[in-house]
A = this chain, B = another copy of it.
Amino acid sequence: MSDVTIKDIARMAGVSHTTVSRALNDSPLINPETKERIKSIAGSLNYTPNYNAKSLVLDRSYNLGLFFTTLHQGTSSGFLYAALRGVNEVIKDGYNLIVRGIDDYTSFHHVNRKSFDGIIVMSQSAADQPFIEYAAQRAIPLIVLNRQIEMDGVWNLVPDDQSGAYRMTEYLLQCGHRRIAIIEGKPGFKSSHARKEGYLDALRSAGIEPEDELCMRGEYDFESGYQAMVRILELKDRPSAVFCSSDDMALGAVKAAAERGVRVPDDISVAGFDDTLYSAFITPALTTVRRPIEEMSRAGAEKLVAFIEKKHVEDHKRMFRTELVIRDSVKPISEGD
């Protein structure tokens, strides 16, 4: 059936396979009439090039990789969907999109330049670092989304955590909160720093001097959020709102409060960050900050394809605007409270 090759076409057209190859690739060397004739024969034979052979000689795979930190533990379906949609919208017919969880690989043996024209890593954790370095070292065009990273030659598109945190804090202030605690992210992480800076900026803009007492260490995970909230609730002068640097920690915070008979949001407001899927389902539904996953993915894929196809690409870093998602876990406080 589909086993017709350029040699078959060559025989029919009475030319060499070289001419056929050139004609089908629109080489300017070929006589326009010959070219048309060859193309019409190819069309009528329903010719499809053998991409494996092309790949071999052209040193291109026509494969793009979209890698997630994990596909089976923790990645939310909404996150996956948004990323896949974003990338898929952009890539042309000529590419295959290969989707995989990094933790599915027992070795990175199959990850090399011959197999991937380019790779998009939707990074959710520092556990991806070895993979990213491996790919970078193999000189595969690489773009890392979502998680901030410092590597030369690797593009990096991340959500603007700082302004997200700024606007969330601003929102809490608008709701009348004056004493607002923060539970910080993992120490040393860029995102932790950015989110805290946004928080601090917003407070200062409102003329409120941040208090060290209200800044709690966290690790981005459920447990650390729980622990931090316990400490917050023990403060003599308890804050009326807590900004958590991740939804996971917010979940822990809500649990700690509930266990101590402190109601969210009636007694204390809790805000998160990330808008993970469950955020909408828990009680109370979490007020949080959404990261623009689909937009980032689209931009990342565009950039990657443009680079592969040799168009020049300039800037290596970019921030994407985050968005406030207002649900039920933050409550305005009336003046008299």
- Residues of A whose CB lies within 8 Å of any CB of B are 1-2, 48, 50-53, 55-56, 61, 63, 71-72, 77-78, 80-82, 84-85, 88-89, 93-94, 96-101, 104-107, 109-110, 112-115, 137-139
Q: A71-B85, A97-B100 are in contact. List 13 more A-B contacts (CB 8 A).
A: A1-B139, A2-B113, A2-B138, A71-B84, A72-B85, A72-B88, A80-B80, A80-B81, A80-B84, A81-B81, A93-B109, A96-B98, A96-B110
Contact residues in B for A89 (Cβ distance below 8 Å): 72
Q: B1 contacts A137, CB within 8 Å?
A: yes
Contact residues in B for A107 (Cβ distance below 8 Å): 93
Q: Which of these, B55, B94, B109, B137, contacts A110 with CB under 8 Å?
A: B94
Contact residues in B for A52 (Cβ distance below 8 Å): 52, 55-56, 61, 114-115
State the oligomeric state as a number of copies.
Answer: 2
Q: A98 contacts B97, CB within 8 Å?
A: yes
Q: Given A88-B101, A98-B98, A106-B93 in contact, is the A112-B71 Cβ separation under 8 Å?
A: no
Closest chain-B Cβ to A70's Cβ sits at a distance in Å of 10
Q: Which of these, B1, B81, B98, B137, contacts A77 with CB under 8 Å?
A: B81
